[in-house]
Each structure stands twice: as C-alpha cells, then as structure tokens.
Chains A and B, each alone.
Chain A
Amino acid sequence: MEILIQQLFNGLTIGSVYALVALGLTLVYGILHIPNFAHGALYMMGGYITWMMMTDFGLHYWVAIIISIIVAGLLGVLMERLVFHPLREAPPIHDKIAAIGIMLFLEAFAQYYWGAEYQSMPTPYGQVVQIFGLTLTMQRILIVVSAVVVMLLLYVFLKKTFIGSTIIAMSQDREGANLVGINTNKVAMLTFLISGGLAAIAASLSAPINLVFPGMGQLVILKAFVIIILGGMGSIPGAIVGGYILGFSESLGATYISNDYKDIIAFIILVIILTVKPTGLFSRGGH
C-alpha cells in the first residue's frame, strides 16, 4: 500500500513535467498546425541555461529559472520569425523538416558549447521530508506545486484576458481572428514565447532529479507527442490530462511490471489510442 501511494506521488511528479512540455507543444500546434519537433530542444536549452546560471554565475535557483524562461521564450520567438514565419505559405512538410533541422542544430550547439557530459543540477530543495509516512524530497513537492500554479496562471491568462483569448481564437479560426482585428503575427510570436517559457520551466524543475545533457529533450518530446495525440491535437485540457495519465502509467508500470520497460509504456499507449480513438480524448471537431 505504501509503495502504491509512493508511486502515485512519483507519477504526479513526472506527469506534471510532461503536462508542462505537452502544453507548449499543443499551443503551438493549435496556432500553426505544425508539430514542432524542435520543442524538445527548447526544453534542453532551458535546462542548460538554468544549470549554467547556477554553476557558472552562482545565481540562486529561482533567478536562474527566470532567466532561463526568458531565454528559451525568446529562442522560441526567434524560431517563429526566422524559420516558421517565412515558411507559412510553403507546403506543410517544409515546416516539419525545418523543425527537425532546428532540433539538430540546437543539440549540436549544446554539445559544442557545454560538452557531451551529463551534468547534475544543484538544488536548494534537496532535503527529504516525511508526510503521512511517505518519504518525499522537497524538489518533487516543488515540481508538483509549481506545475499546478503555472497551469492555473495559464488557464486564467487564456480564458480571462483579451490577449490570452486571441491565442484560443486564432487556433479555432485563423482568418476569423484576422477579421476581428487580431494581428496574427503577434499572436504567433506570443504563442512561441509562452511555449518556450513552459519548456524552460519543465526542464529547470525536473533537471535536479534527472540530469542535464544535450539529448535530454529527445525522449521527453517523443512522449509529449504521445500525450497530445492521446489528449487530442491542439487541446489544452487534453495535454494536461494526457500528461498525468502518462506519468501515472509510467510510475506504476515501473513498479509493478518492470523498470526496464518504463519508457515503452508511452508508446504502447500510443498504439492503443491510435487503434481505439485516433482523434484523442478531447478532440475538437473540425480539424
């Protein structure tokens, strides 16, 4: 019983990170209708920048994360301006190839600049606490709490502010949005900014319990794709629910089936969902 609860909490932790990454991916998909394969590279850059700010510049964890959010967000905007915007009239396959190109470029850059070694990120929240007989690290509690706070803020921004709802409007009808006076270029940049920022938050929160290395985004982005296919492409609740479903399945699977097959679970879910309900759990009709 204790193992079960412990594993459920682990699932909540991993799920929080997955949900944050998948949210950024699904927002960009909603706007541009392209799967941004480079999203995992933004995650990786976010992890490295936080790590560099802490170890090289001696900044506090929170300050490092804020810088990382800004840098990864701006990298996202730069991606949109330099690559995706010029390709907006091109056939969709060009965007996908370009996204893979950006991913390879950023990974090569990280390897060149920071080296190929695995780096561990220090955290001021390494202490272990006992709650209801459970042994938890502060970092894991921090991940869950921060992720929930970020998601709530994002919800309020998208639903309750005019600027935020332009993102929703544009994902539902791009030309309709243009005709009510929304500058769709600005909305696209804003979406990439948020998407990059979310990736940086996810990477900076999870890096202390994982590691920082040039390929750290690869498995995460593949799983994020599974999540948004599971939740429904472009669906925001789908990304959150899908993230937690995957988190729980992985942590329970690792305990009760086999730890060696943990990473396969995502892809088994993918096969099942594509067989049973290819449009995903929260599909929005039309697309």
Chain B
Amino acid sequence: MLSLKNVAVKYGSFTAVHDVNIEVTSGEIVVLLGSNGAGKSTVFRTISGLNKPSAGDVLFEGNKINRRSADQIVQFGIGQCPEGRKLFPAMTVQENLRMGGYVHRRKRDEIKHSLEHVFELFPILKEKRNDAAGSLSGGQQQMLAIGRTLMSKPKLMLLDEPSVGLAPLIVEQMFEVIQKINKEGTTILLAEQNANAALKIADKGYVFENGTIVLEGTSEDLFANDEVRKAYIGA
C-alpha cells in the first residue's frame, strides 16, 4: 500500500533522514520506534507532503506521491494525526471534526455519518462538542486529533506519538481505539516511544536511530530482541 524507497530528507544542508525503506501492507498496523529526534516525525511529514524528499521515492497504491502537495495527499487517502496535534484551538470540538471532513465537504450525509462514528468511538467528544478545542485536557485533545483525522476517511492513517504526555490509563484506552480503527479497515502507521504498548498491537516494526532504520522485523521478533528491550522497554 505504502512504500518508501531509499528516502532521504534534508533541512537545508542537514540530512535529517537517509536511506529509509518502509513497506506497509493494507490492513496492517506498523510501528516506527525511536527516541526523540531519531527521524520518525520527519518521515511522517514527508509521507504527508509537508517536506519533500531530497532523494528516493514515496509510493502510495503504486503511484509516486513525493511531488504532491499535502492537501492532495489527504485526498488520495492518507490522513495524518500530527505531533503536537495541530488542532484549531478556538473552534469548537464539532467544528474541528467538521473541518476534518473537508475533503468530503460536498457529501453532507457522509460527514454527518462520520461525525456519529467518531462520537461513538470517543463519547467524551460528544459531551464536549460545543467546547473550544483549546479548553480540552491533553487526552481529550488527542482523541479529537484522532477523530479529526478519521473524518477524512483515510485508507492509511499516520499517528505520530499518540501516547505522549498522557496518563497510563488513557494510553491504554488510546491503543484500544487504535486497534478498533484498524479492525474497521484502516491501515495504520504509528510512531511511538512507548514500545511496550505499541508492539502489543502492531504486526511489524522499524527501529529508528540517528535518521535511519537500524532494525526491522515482526512485533514478536522486536519484542524478543535484547537491544529493543534495553532501549525502549526497560526490561
């Protein structure tokens, strides 16, 4: 479904990411593990078209998308729930969700239907639908960010560190919902530092260090790997 072939990204003369090869098959949950600054977010930004690769190709469903703009890529069916959430803070929860459905704006019924679906996944958002997004707690904002991304009905959803800064109980709920979204037919590419929780739900994973992939394998392989256990699980 999505493949990155020898992708490199530069910020000015600084190479943030190099020789990245990733393969995501339809229906999977794939996790990118790595510490802060390892290059996970840069890879996500590049897939979404916010950064352009300086070398290599990004292919989605067989088509090259590396020269496409960010808004076109959303139309192709890649939705990103970005680092820092990037909500519209002064808009209400419901307005944020409606904006999430922007690419389907001409199909009113579809938007209404998606909205109900998101409220089903996150009942708290329905309760707070008339509150400003900026007034929500961190966990609720993360739910809203995921909900907003779902509104575009992506085939592939990129989730950049959804567990960051959240209480353990909320993290658990978050991963349950991610799994549910995947079961409903959305392929998921997840960036995480919380390897323990992420590998439990993932099919396979890649480990990032200093801007490139140092290790890849199935979740079981990575979970059993000593290096991964030492660096990301702490056991």
Identify the A interface with B (CB < 8 A).
162, 165-166, 168-169, 172-173, 175-184, 284-286
CB-defined contacts of A183 to chain B, threshold 8 Å: 69, 71
Contact (Cβ within 8 A) A178 B91 = no
How near does chain B come to A175, taking the closest CB pair, in angstroms? 5
Contact in complex: A180, B105 (CB < 8 Å): no
Which residues of A are found within 8 Å of B52, using beta-carbon distances? none
Q: In whole angstroms, how far apart are the Cα atoms of A172 and B87 in the complex?
A: 8
Q: In the complex the two chains form, is A179's CB within 8 Å of B86's CB?
A: yes
Which one of B70, B80, B91, B148 has the highest number of Cβ atoms from chain A below 10 Å of its Cβ?
A: B70
A181 touches B75 (CB 8 A): yes
* CB neighbours of A166 from chain B (8 A): 99, 102
* Given A165-B95, A175-B50, A176-B82, also A181-B88 (CB < 8 A): no
Report yes or no: A162 in contact with B88, Cβ–Cβ below 8 A: no
Q: Are B91 and A169 interface neighbours, CB within 8 A?
A: yes
Is B152 a contact partner of A176 (Cβ separation < 8 A)?
Answer: no
In angstroms, how far is the closest chain B Cβ from the Cβ of A189?
A: 14
Q: Is the CB of B50 within 8 A of A181?
A: no
- Complex interface: chain B residues within 8 A of A177 (CB): 88, 99
- Chain A residues, Cβ within 8 Å of B79: 179
A-B contact pairs, 18 of them (CB 8 A): A165-B91, A165-B95, A166-B102, A168-B88, A169-B88, A169-B91, A172-B90, A172-B91, A175-B82, A176-B85, A176-B86, A177-B88, A178-B70, A179-B74, A179-B80, A182-B71, A285-B89, A286-B134
Give B162-177 as 1s and 0s: 1 = Cβ < 8 Å from A's Cβ atoms. Answer: 0000000000000000
Q: With A165-B99, A176-B86 as known contacts, state yes or no: A181 contacts B74, CB within 8 Å.
A: yes
Instruction: Judge whether A178 and B71 touch: CB under 8 Å.
Output: yes
Bound-complex Cα distance A285 to B133 (A) = 13
Residues in B lying within 8 Å of A, measured CB to CB? 48, 50, 69-71, 74-75, 79-80, 82, 85-91, 95, 98-100, 102-103, 105, 134, 148-149, 151-152
* Distance, CA A150 to CA B151, complexed state (A): 33
Instruction: Let me know if A178 and B50 touch, CB within 8 A.
Output: yes
Given contacts A166-B102, A172-B88, A184-B71, 17 further A-B contacts (CB under 8 A): A165-B91, A165-B99, A172-B91, A175-B82, A176-B85, A176-B87, A177-B88, A177-B99, A178-B50, A179-B48, A180-B152, A181-B71, A181-B152, A183-B71, A285-B89, A286-B89, A286-B134
Measured between alpha carbons, how far is A269 from B229 in the docked complex, in Å?
Answer: 63
Question: Which of B80, B95, B102, B148 is in CB contact (< 8 Å) with A182?
Answer: B102
* CB of A26, distance to nearest CB on chain B (Å): 14
Residue of B with least CB distance to A178: B70
Query: What A residues does B103 contact at CB under 8 A?
Result: 180-181
The listed residue (A165, A172, A175, A179) touching B89 by CB distance below 8 A is: A172
Query: Complex Cα distance A284/B134, Å?
Result: 11
Give CA–CA (A284, B132) in the complex, Å.
12
